[in-house]
Amino acid sequence: MKFHEDDRAQRIIDIFNLNDKQINISVVNSTDHISGLHMHKYRTEFFYCIKGSFKVFLGTDKVPDPFARFDYISDKNPCKFIHVPLYVYHGYKALEPNSIIMYYMNKKYDINDEFKVKPRHFNEIWETESK
């Protein structure tokens, strides 16, 4: 188990030290930043909200994009999780300060399997719209 902290979050990494899989938890301090926006060729992930709420983007480089959408997870719906398949870009933003997200990965973290793009690469709108 490892601990990492920066101005965005506190992370507990590889909580159970599973052989080839990994479970991490992040406490996200602020609603002002976007985490991620990357994809994997060899690893799938599952996101689950323990506390608070998250806006999660999923998208691919395909045109038209069958995945391009936002989804939401929160502690108000404890039966919901988000599956991130291979080759799907994903990132998240906390909608409440100190929200907690758990993510399960079917393979250990490998920096060579992380393909990043900048937020808004897909022209996605992270801000909450006024209606």
pLDDT in tens, 79-94: 999 999 999 999 999 9
Residue 18 domain flag? yes
Residue 127 domain flag? no
Residue 68 domain flag? yes
At 131, is the pLDDT very low, low, confident or very high (cuts 50, 70, 90)?
low
CATH of the domain at 66: 2.60.120.10
Residue 73 domain flag? yes
pTM: 0.91
CB neighbours of 56 closer than 8 A, spacing ≥ 6?
A: 47, 70, 71, 72, 73, 82, 90, 91, 92
Residue 99 domain flag? yes
Query: What phi, psi does 122 have (nearest 5°)?
Result: -100, 15
Residue 131 domain flag? no
pLDDT tens string 37-69: 999 999 999 999 999 999 999 999 888 887 789
The residue type of 68 is A
Range of the domain at 112: 2-116
